[in-house]
Amino acid sequence: MSVAAITGSTGLIGSESATYFGELGMEVVGIDNDMRKLFFGPEASTAWNQARLEKLLGERYRHHPVDVRDRQGVDEIFRRYGSAIELVIHTAAQPSHDWAAKEPVTDFDINAVGTLNVLEATRIHAPDAVFIFTSTNKVYGDLANSLPLRELETRWEIDPEHTYANGIREDMSIDHSLHSLFGASKVAADVLVQEYGRYFGLRTACFRGGTLTGPRHSAAELHGFLAYVMRCAMTATPYTVFGYKGKQVRDAIHSLDLIRAFHEFFLAPRVAEIYNIGGGRFSNASVLEAISLSEEIASESLEWTYRDQNRVGDHIWWIGDNGRFESHYPGWKLEYDVRRILEEIHETNADRWTRDRVSAER
């Protein structure tokens, strides 16, 4: 029996991982207590994704509604499966800047202490497993905002002569910047994952993503940029743009492209690696550009308003450089750009979100 233990298994990246590795024949142990519903309201619940996984994978998916803060509960799961666990994908997190500021202790307990609990259970019960952590580009704080940027018609863009013109590399400092409390808790988790690699020899990797997206995102205003823009367009929900004239740029990586990167690392793991991972120059858009594309694809007009105050720790421009990962795993490449991502989000959710719109209008 080959087991993949996945925390946050009913979220976007967790469920894509469960589907991918389950269809490869691994038994998937899912750990998720649907905290997203608490963070962002009942419409953000991931219960539908749990039901989908159980139907799709059958007995190959075993769900455990355990909170990663529950050290004993996490330890019991890992003890039960032991050395059969060959892969750990840790995606469970509190993912919002704004929510973290409301409950800093809860945010830190989930993101940092929860990560420690999963790492320690892995070290004790499955030390030969490959450990993959979904970190974030927010570990760099807002240092990216000090880059030389130019204002164009629909976006901010970096000076083409700058060393990061092709994307921001892992050599950007994580110091002397404003991270937001969310960013700080993810820094702690990121460093812990590295340390368990360097100190204990675990085969760990931190994937520092930008906008992680895809059709199975339970999108909400505070988290889920591209999917939420499309959902608003399809359901006639007003959308709010926060700061930077709506020209802030995000690179976006489809969940399947990311999980294929995880698979490459699983097949040839390294110790204590860090990778910036995202859409890079291949897949990126400003907020204004994403709104325009969503309106075009959905054939709907999106009602949106602008607030001049940006969110704390938010990036004006983030395009990451995937070069380090690509140099280690040259067989991997991106397949989805922003247009294709939005088209798939629209197609996959057409029935569900159209029903939401009809119900709201009634």
| pLDDT tens digit sequence for 237-275 | 999 999 999 999 999 999 999 999 999 999 999 999 999
| Residue 301 DSSP one-character state | P
Does residue 39 contact residue 105 with C-beta atoms inside 8 Å? no
Q: What is the per-residue pLDDT for 34?
A: 95
Average pLDDT over residues 306-330: 94
Are 340 and 253 contacting, i.e. CB atoms less than 8 angstroms apart?
A: no
Dihedral in degrees, nearest 10, Cα atoms 271, 274, 278, 280: -120
Can you tell me the distance from the alpha carbon of 253 to that of 333, in angstroms, rounded to the nearest whole number?
11
What is residue 223's predicted lDDT score, i.e. its pLDDT?
66
pLDDT at 344: 96
How high does pLDDT run on average in the chain? Answer: 94
Q: How many CA atoms lie within 13 A of 1 on its CB side?
A: 15
Q: Worst-scoring range by mean pLDDT, 42-46, 122-126, 210-214?
A: 42-46
Q: Determine the pLDDT at residue 358.
A: 46
What is the rounded average pLDDT of the residues 192-200? 98
Token pair 């991972």 is at which residue? 277
- Average of pLDDT values for 206-211? 95
Model's pTM, two decimal places? Answer: 0.94
Q: Are strands 211-213 and 284-286 parallel, antiparallel or unpaired?
A: unpaired
CA distance 136 to 111: 11
Residues 6+ apart with CB under 8 A from 79: 121, 124, 125
Q: How confident is the model at residue 351 (pLDDT cuts 50, 70, 90)?
A: confident
Confidence grade of residue 220 (pLDDT, cut at 50, 70, 90): low
pLDDT of residue 362: 45
Cβ-contact 194, 115 below 8 angstroms: no
Helices (H), 24-113: 35-40, 47-57, 71-81, 97-102, 104-108
As to burial, measured by CB atoms within 10 angstroms (0-12 exposed, 13-18 middle, 19+ buried), residue 82 is exposed
- pLDDT-derived band at 357, boundaries 50, 70, 90: low
pLDDT digits (tens, 9 = 90+) for 71-82: 999 999 999 999
Burial class (CB in 10 A: 0-12, 13-18, 19+), 246: middle
Whole-angstrom CA distances from 348 to 8, 102, 215, 246 are 21, 33, 6, 27
Give 217's pLDDT tier (boundaries 50, 70, 90).
confident
CA R_g for the chain: 19
Return the sign of the alpha-carbon dihedral for residues 347, 349, 355, 358.
Answer: negative
Domains belonging to the chain, first-starting first, are 3-361 (3.40.50.720)
Mean pLDDT is lowest, of 40-49, 146-155, 161-170, for: 40-49
Average pLDDT over every residue of 297-324: 94
